[in-house]
Amino acid sequence: DFHSPYGCSKGAGDQYVRDYARIYGLSTVVLRQSCIYGPRQMGVEDQGWVAWLIIAAVIGQPITIYGDGKQVRDVLFVDDLLDAYDAAVDHIDVAAGQVYNVGGGPAHTMSVWAEFGPILEKLLGHSVPASFADWRPGDQPVYVSDVRKSERELGWQPQVGVDQGIRRLYDWVVSHKHLFA
């Protein structure tokens, strides 16, 4: 169930890639990526929400949370994503034609604002104001990737913890604040 036109377009792309493997024998792999974040991410409100919230908090931009802020997402640090790509290439004999969820999984989750807001406040040393707006159409209350197939077949699992990854992104944003002025 793709939940939105955006999800439907991603699902159609996944199917094309799988069909090229099945019909033409190409060594294609679908990696369904979850909430990716990390240094050099120029997040905006609609894409790259972890980076966007850090950037907005650091430079004093208004923050709007859609929904109640308790919606849960798994997050995946970019270094772990790159390791997943390497694992798919290294195991292409098994991975060709397959679909893998590549996200933080249950061990790397947080709520969009109820948990992330306090993390930001601790990093900044002060409160971070936010306003709330209605839920966006198609937004899911909880999304956590099931990464067991990736672990089993590719030997891959996320290594960078949520606190460590957020700290690394925060430090990068602070040291590159001029990029967001």
Residue of 151, 157, 72 whose CA lies nearest to 116: 72
Residue of 140, 101, 134 whose CA lies nearest to 3: 140
Pairing of strands 99-102, 142-143: unpaired
Residue pair 165/103 in contact by the 8 Å Cβ criterion: no
**Tokens found for residue 138:** 């198609």
* Beta strands in the chain, from DSSP E residues, in sequence order: 30-33, 35-37, 64-66, 72-77, 99-102, 109-111, 131-133, 142-143
Q: What phi and psi, each to the nearest 5 degrees, are found at residue 108?
A: -130, 60
Told to judge if 6 belongs to the known catalytic residues of this protein, a careful annotator would answer yes
Residues near 50 by beta carbon (within 8 Å), at least 6 away in sequence: 35, 37, 41, 43, 75, 116, 166, 169
Catalytic residue among 6, 66, 85, 100, which? 6
Catalytic residues: 6
